[in-house]
Structure 1
Amino acid sequence: MKNQILSFVFISLIAAPTFAQDAADLPEADPADVESVDALIAAVYDVISGPAGEKRDWDRFRSLFRSEARLIPAGVDPGGEFGLRFWGVEDYISQAGAFLEERGFFESEIHRVQEEYGNIVHLFSTYDSRWKEDDPEPFTRGINSFQLVNDGSRWWVVNIFWQGESENASIPEKYLPQG
């Protein structure tokens, strides 16, 4: 019993900073963006999408993520090696932001598979990407794997882990729109 109490105290001490370190330096979220899973996912896609020359609302983007959040692209490099990159929110903005704004980029969710338990949600969000909103065909598709949490007052993005479709990794039918 004594060991169980000590274990509980130890775990509580370790976990306490995790629960406390959230919104200190983050911009305040629009309540409509974080009131539901659907709203949160729509806000993420909305912020990154826009025509060439349009500045993205990066403060809105920041407000959707926990401060410890990771954005993790997976894929094959030009040398044929599979790899991952691990970015924080600021890393993503500095690595991808200028490209999205200069080139133009529209990403849309075309299908979703969602699992929930308690305060956590995991979803596979199949997307297609276009350079212009009215492009007849996407230049790529893939899957964004979102991990989300509700802290009792709002929804947060914890991680986005994604991989684009390729010759060696086509999207399974169960992750594509039916019909």
Structure 2
Amino acid sequence: MPANPEDVGTIDGVMRAFYEVVNVAPDEPRQWARDRTLYAPWIHFVAIGSKLTVFDHPSFVAQAEPLMREGFREPELRRIVHRYGNIAHVASSYELLRRSDGSRHARGVNYIQLYFDGQRWWIASVVWQDEDAEHPIPPELLPPSP
């Protein structure tokens, strides 16, 4: 499946697609083919928690699918982009919500490395950590107070 130009033409497009593919109702079709088009062929996903877990795309899909079957929402809270030429680093805070009642399950931060090959943006790596008492989300990555 070729990438949708709207998904990979800009950093904003990549980030929109990054979150859209995982925000589906339990009975909606998954968008794993679309998801795969966002990433460089060597993509690795790294979860930082009580233990370090590294996934390639197929193992990431296998790990995420049970969560999505239950109903999964992960809206982005705030984003900071640092770009230099054809590379970018995105710090993106998120919130995990239970689909059944919309209550917050967790929050955390994704660090996403991207590069532009002259035609499109590619995600080269994704590293994330859920928030805990020892590691609160930095204020600059929280939504503005009302």
TM over 0.5: yes
The root-mean-square deviation of aligned C-alpha atoms, in Å, is: 1.4
Q: Is structure 2 residue 86 aligned with structure 1 residue 119? A: yes
Paired position in structure 1 for 2:114: 148
Q: Which has the higher contact order (CA 8 A, sep 6+)?
A: 2
In the alignment, the residues of structure 2 paired with residue 178 and residue 133 of structure 1 have an alpha-carbon distance, to the nearest angstrom, of 27
Contact 1:52 1:100 in 2 (8 A): no
Letter in 2 for 1:44: F
Once the two structures are superposed, the pairs formed by residues 20-35 of structure 1 within 5 Å of their partners are 27-35=1-9
1:129 is aligned, of 90, 96, 99, to: 96
Give every structure 1 segment of 4 or more consecutive aligned residues whose post-TM-superposition deviation is greater than 6 Å.
none
Q: Which residue of 2 aligns with 1:164?
A: 130
Equivalent of residue 66 in structure 1, options 35, 40, 43: 40
2:63 counterpart of 1:95: yes
Q: Does 1:85 align with 2:53?
A: yes
Aligned residues: 145
TM (norm. structure 2) is: 0.93
Does the residue aligned with 2:26 lie in a helix, a strand or coil? Answer: coil
Matching residue of 1:54: 28
User: For structure 2, which runs of at least 5 residues remain unmatched after alignment?
Assistant: none
> Deviation string for 1:103-146 (max 9, x for gaps)?
110111111111011111001100111122871x4211100001
Partner SS, residue 86 of structure 1: strand
Larger radius of gyration: 1
Which amino acid in structure 1 is aligned with residue 42 of structure 2? E
Which of 104, 122, 133 is 2:71 aligned to?
104
Identical pairs, percent: 34
Change (3 A) 1:58 1:177: same
Provide the rounded CA distance (Å) in 1 between the counterparts of 2:17 and 2:97.
18
**What is the CA-CA distance between 1:54 and the residue it aligns to?**
2.5
CA distance in 1, matches of 2:16, 2:67: 17
Instruction: Report the TM-score, using the length of structure 1 for normalisation.
Output: 0.76
The AA in structure 2 aligned to 1:145 is Y
Deviations 1:23-71 (A, max 9, x none): xxxx310111111101101101100111123331110011110110111
Residues 106 and 133, structure 1, Cα contact 8 Å, conserved in 2: no
8 Å CA contact 2:8, 2:14 repeated in 1: yes
